[in-house]
Amino acid sequence: MGLNHASNAGCQLTYMQGITTAIEVMAPCPYFMEAVSMLKGVENIELGIHLTLNAEWTNYKWRPLTHCPSITDANGYFFKQVWNKKEKAVSDALNDQKWDINEIERELRAQIELILNHLPQTNHITLHMGFSSCGDIIETCIRKLAAEYRLIYWGNEYRNSNWGKKQNVTQIRFWDDKSDTTVGLAVKATLKTLSELKPGNYIFIDHPAQNTEEMQSLGYSADDNVASKRETVTNVLTNLEVIKYIREHDHIRLVGYGDFE
């Protein structure tokens, strides 16, 4: 939460009316304070800090909380990518910069402290687009901060097949989020996946939102249908058939990060 109103509202629906058990908040984003107002006083939901060092949208950017010129572009915004996807004369990726670990630590610490100041019940950390892959020293820094602030941190989850192994947790998808996947197909696939799960611990991670003009206007070069897809996430996680199936099957229990500590 924090990205924009469409994302905040979508996430809110999934934890108020759906099956979401954990929400992460991005401190540098423009709608952070709206997220705070939505989450204050909410019970039965785990809150996390989604540490952020890039701003991937084409028409929508955010700046760091601290002065950290080694990880910002000429306009003072975070770089667009964590890793460069194409060869470019001038890179817009964090990994290609001569970043200063001291600046990174100050920024991450500021994000943690801002969120804890407003939402002290926060209990875990995740990473936006897996930026700790830019260097082991960044991962070490995050682990140090997690220990200092007594926050749960499972490591870099982004495209990491080993993530969650220590906790015996497997990351799964409920449906294939192709552009032509309707809510009906996604619900059907979710019910099928739930019915076929073997005994174990599973985690589903996604981005609920509402498909509004605001969400459509952000511009995401990797996916023109991101607003529609994110509304599908909201609709599936609040779907009455999905909720009913989980309630009627005692072997399925909704849990959070804290249940594995």
Q: What is the per-residue DSSP string for 186-253?
A: HHHHHHHHHHHPPSSEEE---------HHHHTT--TT-TTHHHHHHHHHHHHT-HHHHHHHHH-TT--
- Output the tens digit of pLDDT for each of the chain's 261 residues: 999 999 999 999 999 999 999 999 999 999 999 999 999 999 889 999 999 999 999 999 999 999 999 999 999 999 999 998 766 656 899 999 999 999 999 999 999 999 999 999 999 999 999 999 999 999 999 999 999 999 999 999 876 777 888 899 999 999 987 767 899 999 999 999 999 999 999 999 999 999 999 999 998 877 778 999 999 999 999 999 999 999 999 999 999 999 998
Ramachandran assignment for 97, one of left (phi > 0), alpha (psi -120 to 50 degrees), beta (any other): beta
* 44: in domain: yes
Predicted pLDDT at 178: 75
In the numeric block, which tokens belong to residue 102? Answer: 């001291």
* 254: in domain: no
Q: The pTM is what?
A: 0.94
Predicted pLDDT at 89: 59
Dist. CA 9–CA 25, nearest whole Å = 13
Domain count, the chain: 1
* 103: in domain: yes
* 259: in domain: no
* 203: in domain: yes
Host domain of residue 187 = 5-248
CATH number at residue 26: 3.20.20.370
CA distances from residue 258 to 116, 123, 189 in whole angstroms, order as listed: 17, 8, 28
Other Cβ atoms less than 10 A from the Cβ of 52: the count is: 25
Predicted pLDDT at 120: 97
* 206: in domain: yes
* 121: in domain: yes
Predicted pLDDT at 88: 66
